[in-house]
Amino acid sequence: MVTEMYVPARPNVIPLSQAPTGSKVRVINVVGGKYRVQKIFDMGLTPGVEAFVRQNIYYGPVIVDVRGVTIAVGRGIAEGILVEII
Amino acid sequence: MNLNSKVSDYNEIPKRDKVYTIALTGNPNVGKSALFNSLTGGEVFVANWPGVTVELKYGKLIHHGINIQVVDLPGSYSLVMGDEAEKTVRDYLLNNKPDLYVIITDITALERTLYPAIKLMEAYPHVIIVMNMADIARRRALHVDKDALENELNTFIIETSALTGEGIGVLLDRIVEYLISKRRRGFLKIDYGPLEPYIHKLEQHIKERSPDLHLSHRWIALELLEGDEELKAILIEKFHLDKAFVSSVIEEVKEHLRIDIPLYIIQTRYNFITNILKGRIIETKLIRPTWMIKLDNIFLKPIVGPIFSLIILFLSFLCIFIINTGFPLNVIFHNLGLHEPANLIESYSLVELVSLLFGQLSTYTSNLLSALGIPDPYISFITDGVLGGIGAVLSFLPLVFLVFVLSAFLQDTGLYTRIAVSFHNFLKRYGLSGKSIYPIVVGFGCNVPAVLSTRALDDDRERITVALAVPFIPCQARLVVMLAIAAAISRDPIAQAAIITSLYIVSIIIYLITSKILTKGLFKMKSGPELLLELPPYHIPHIRVLWWYSKFNTMAFLKKAGTIILLLSMLIWILLHTGPHGYIPVEEPKLISDSFAAILGKFLLPLMAPIGIADWRAILSLEIGFIAKEAIISTLVTITGFDDPVKAFNAIGLSSAQLYLLAIFMTIYTPCLATIVSMKSEVGKWKLVLIIIGYQLLLAYLITLIVSIILMFLP
């Protein structure tokens, strides 16, 4: 299921996979298969939540702090998490 | 907050002879195992529970004269959807009525770890909350207004530290207080705003179809709206609902509200948590000590991370294997000419001590039995077949135990997750997740604990894949045979190293290809699992948990695999020590050529000759290698009469090329008995195990054949 939420045409909305190390982001939307989206939500990465990008190197997972825990997000999944830098 | 204070059907006077059931669950990485251990004192039982397909652990405790059994449910983020662990929790929740759920959260990460707690409180009336890791919270000067939260959620909240043991007594008191008190709490109710009319509609429908339930009707309605198709189908069947009606309500919501329903529900729950926590957590110090961040920076860096992880794993296993067999330290010392320390290490290794014990035991038994006038064949059967089999099982125990200790250590400290993350990218290509690096590395030492340690993997398909493929990793016993054959082929150490390296490379390639075949062919997985893992904070390992985890899993190996290994060991004795002319005395090794095993070897000769294994003695040794790979050497030593393994290999009349082919075949053909039995106990299906053995034999034959053809064209 692709989420049917309206994605505002904001210029600074990027996939999490492109958010630089050390940046603070807000999750705007999550796209992907239903099972995957649900799992991402269950891990606390829901639209509106703020997260801190601890590490994002061109290769390997994106490491984010969200809701008091640290999560390693595979690049494939990070592509589908749309964020804006705040 | 609105709390439904409905009195449920649980009001009964506590009876002293009644056994109450409480179930432990919570987010992963909150210290649940440690807490379970502290509550129950570590004695674990397993049992089947209604509606749950896997066995669950439980422990027993008596507090203030009340008998309680504590069920250990797996860690779960959402309670109902996702991987095997979550499905187990779901099945338990839907089909069981424990007197109380104790849900464990991490006080340092309440926002996230309260999520399953909130969800459970919506579903079930009897829930109390544990806020674990209180010691860490204090060190970070983190304070949570527990009383305010207790009021908000209308249930007991207990701060504990499973590590230091603080709060455990209070928790036990509270559990008993809850179990015997008449006051019941009812369900937590969160306001879902525009969804409410639809929730109500579904709730009414569920009430009509299944009026008496141990779960809240409202929660089932929520799960119908939130859940995936699988969950929906389960709920509809379980509670006799009308599928068309449920679908029509969901369609209605989609049409009228135009929202993503699951997202809306999850967000509302998180908002609820954020609201009740607002102003109730006071933190005055840095969230994470800098050394943790530094260590994470190493682990999570590309290239550096995997290398660092491998070094940690290899050093750890090196210690374990040295304690266990003295290997590889003994080989290094021998090669340096330091035979005395090498022999010392060998003779004081655990395996050597076990075999010493059994050697003496069998001498003693044999003397005793012959004094009683029992005939030789029976004595040999009892001392070599039965006692030998028990010795074989026991000689694995220390290693299995130590590997589990290390596995528990890595999991408990949080290192395992980092290692898994660092290897994920590489292993993903072969359909595996980063966590499978552990069984792979263990496999280089011994395949038995490697197969058993696949238990730490989350996904069932991956677990089966690794358990079936990991025996392709050449274990230490195979290395010993490789070393002997390499020495028999050439005296040049560089040539020997090249031979052994080539065998390892072939094995690892076969392992990776086999994994890919299994994940893509058998399980139809498109690619490896995408990484989405919580990195728990580093913790000091909890000694009792290490002990308990290792003890439990080692005993499971002993029970499941022990008897089969013993039976097969007796069967092999019959093959080796009897023939058409009856019993073959052990003192007459030359007569082995009359045994059933030798007859089988001669029978297989026409098949094996084309791949270069053109001697029945070599085939016989491979048959025996099925028990244990080291036995290949001892068999040849016995048959040829040479004490030196290298001379024994040279004595069977194979050329250098043929010896190399023997080494290739030996490396691939089949794992040892104990590994096969462990595979069966982990995978559960003999059929799959037998297919894999057939595949290994075929593959070994084909690869040896191909190499023999290549060797023919070489000068």
Largest CA distance in chain B: 92
Computed over every residue of chain A, the mean pLDDT equals 83
**The predicted structure's pLDDT at residue B286:** 52
Least confident of B141-155, B382-396, B487-501, B580-594: B580-594
**How far is the C-alpha of B171 from the C-alpha of B695, rounded, in Å?**
53
Q: How far A11 CA sits from the closest chain B CA (Å)?
A: 24
Distance CA B703, CA B511 (A): 14
Preceding omega of B715 cis (within 30 degrees of 0): no
The answer to whether B297 contacts A59, with C-beta atoms less than 8 Å apart, is no
Closest CA to B682 of B512, B468, B524, B522: B468
**DSSP states of B506-566:** HHHHHHHHHHHHIIIIIS--SSPPPPEEEEPPP----HHHHHHHHHHHHHHHHHHHHHHHH
Q: How confident is the model at residue B184 (pLDDT cuts 50, 70, 90)?
A: low
**Burial state string for B344-364 with b = 16 or more CB within 10 A and e = fewer than 16:** ebbeebbbbebbeebeeebee
Who contacts B85 (Cβ-Cβ below 8 Å, separation ≥6)?
A: B28, B74, B75, B76, B458
Q: Report chain B's mean pLDDT, rounded to a whole number.
A: 85
- Whole-number pLDDT of residue B18: 85
Extended strands (E) in B99-154: 100-106, 127-132, 142-144
B260, B261, B427, B538, best to mutate vs chain A, most A CBs in 10 Å: B260
- Compute the nearest-CA separation of B611 from chain A (Å): 44
Collect all residues of chain A within an 8 Å Cβ-Cβ radius of residue B424: 61, 74
Does B238 or A36 have the greater pLDDT score? Answer: B238
Q: Is B267 on the interface with A (CB under 8 A)?
A: yes
CA B435/CA B444 separation, integer angstroms: 16
Higher-confidence position of B572 and B69: B69
pLDDT score, position B526: 67
pLDDT-based confidence at residue B356 (cuts at 50, 70, 90): confident
Residue B3: pLDDT over 50: no
Within an 8 Å CB–CB cutoff, is residue B55 touching chain A? no
Nearest to residue B155, comparing CAs of B174, B169, B180? Answer: B174
The residues pairing with B63 across neighbouring beta strands, listed in sequence order, are B66
- Mean pLDDT, residues B630-656 taken together: 82
Return the sign of the alpha-carbon dihedral for residues B369, B372, B375, B378.
Answer: negative
Q: Which residue of A has its CA nearest to B527?
A: A76
Cα B639 versus chain centre, distance = 40
B77 shares contact with chain A (CB less than 8 Å): yes
More confident residue, B282 or B10: B282
CB of B292 within 8 Å of a chain A CB? The answer is no
Q: What is the mean pLDDT of residues A59-71?
A: 87
Residues ≥6 apart with Cβ < 8 Å to B248: none
Sequence-distant contacts of B5-10: CB under 8 A, at least 24 apart: B5/B184, B5/B185, B5/B186, B6/B125, B6/B184, B6/B186, B6/B187, B7/B184, B7/B186, B8/B125, B8/B126, B8/B184, B8/B186, B10/B99, B10/B125, B10/B126, B10/B184
Residue whose token pair is 């070393």: B483
Distance CA B626, CA B632 (A): 9
Across B703-713, average pLDDT: 90
Q: Do A43 and B532 touch (CB under 8 A)?
A: yes
| Residue-wise pLDDT tens digits, B435-492 | 888 898 888 888 888 998 888 787 778 888 899 899 999 887 888 888 889 888 988 8
pLDDT number for residue B198: 94
Using the predicted structure, report yes or no on whether residue B12 has a pLDDT greater than 60: no
Other Cβ atoms closer than 10 A to B539: 18
Chain A residues with at least one Cβ partner in B under 8 Å: 3-5, 30, 34-44, 46-49, 54-55, 57, 59-61, 63, 66-74, 76-77
Mean pLDDT of B663-687: 88
Which chain A residues are Cβ-neighbours of B259 within 8 angstroms? 4-5
Q: Which pLDDT tens digit goes with each residue over B566-583?
A: 887 788 788 888 888 778
Tokens of B598: 């030798």
Q: What is the pLDDT of residue B182?
A: 59
Q: Is B236 helix (H, G, I), strand (E, B) or coil?
A: helix
Retrieve residue B568's tokens: 């097969």
Confidence of residue A16 (pLDDT cuts 50, 70, 90): very high
| Integer Cα distance of B188 and A68 in angstroms | 24
Which of A39-43, B168-172, B316-320, B388-392 ranks highest by mean pLDDT?
A: B168-172
Report chain A's terminal Cα–Cα distance, integer Å: 28
In this structure, are residues B482 and B397 in contact, taking their beta carbons and an 8 Å threshold? no
From A3, A44, A61, residue closest to B112, measured CB to CB:
A44
pLDDT tens figures, B455-467: 878 777 888 889 9
> What is the band of B220 on the pLDDT scale with cuts at 50, 70, 90?
very high
Q: What is the pLDDT of residue A11?
A: 67
Cβ-Cβ contacts under 8 Å for B139 (sequence gap 6 or more): none
Instruction: Work out the minimum CA distance from A32 to partner chain B, whole angstroms.
Output: 12
What is the pLDDT, as a whole number, of residue B120? 94
Q: How far apart are CA B260 and CA B108, in angstroms?
A: 31
Residue B589: pLDDT band (50, 70, 90) is low
Residue B9 reports pLDDT greater than 70: no
Is the CB of B416 inside 8 Å of chain A's CB atoms? no
Where is average pLDDT lowest: B337-351, B436-450, B670-684?
Answer: B337-351
- Strand, coil or helix: what is B158? strand
pLDDT of B66 above 70: yes
- Phi and psi at residue B278, in whole multiples of 5°? -55, 125
pLDDT at B461: 83
Share of chain B above pLDDT 90, in %: 28
Amino acid at B260: D
Categorize the per-residue pLDDT at B8 as very low, low, confident or very high, splitting at 50, 70 and 90: very low
DSSP H helices, B127-242, are 134-139, 146-153, 168-180, 196-209, 217-226, 229-238
Alpha-carbon distance of B140 to B124, in angstroms, equals 33
Indicate if the pLDDT at residue B5 is higher than 80: no
B25 or B31, which is more confident: B25
Rounded-to-10 torsion of CA B558, B559, B565, B570: 120
Specify the 3-state DSSP secondary structure of A36: helix
Left if phi > 0, otherwise alpha if psi is -120 to 50, otherwise beta: which for B143?
Answer: beta
Q: Is the pTM of this model over 0.90?
A: no
What percentage of chain B exceeds 70 in pLDDT? 95
Mean pLDDT value across residues B595-618: 87
What is the C-alpha to C-alpha distance for residues B576 and B511, in angstroms, rounded to an integer? 32
Q: Are B443 and B314 in contact (CB under 8 A)?
A: no
User: For chain B, how many helices (H) and strands (E)?
Assistant: 32, 14
* CATH homologous superfamily of B2-189: P-loop containing nucleotide triphosphate hydrolases (3.40.50.300)
Q: Determine the length of chain A.
A: 86
What pLDDT is attached to residue B352? 81
Contact with chain A for residue B593, Cβ under 8 A: no
Contact B387, B358 (CB under 8 A): yes
Subunit contact B109:A63, Cβ cutoff 8 A: no
Using the structure block, give the residue that is written with the tokens 């509809």: B236
Superfamily of A13-85 according to CATH: Ferrous iron transport protein A (FeoA) (2.30.30.90)
CB-nearest to A68 from B110, B258, B262 is: B110
Among B44-53, B166-175, B417-426, B479-488, the minimum mean pLDDT is found in: B44-53
* Dist CA B75 CA B88 (whole Å): 10
Both tokens of B41, joined, read 């004192």
Nearest chain B residue to A72, by CA: B533
Q: How many CA atoms lie within 13 A of B272 on its CB side?
A: 24
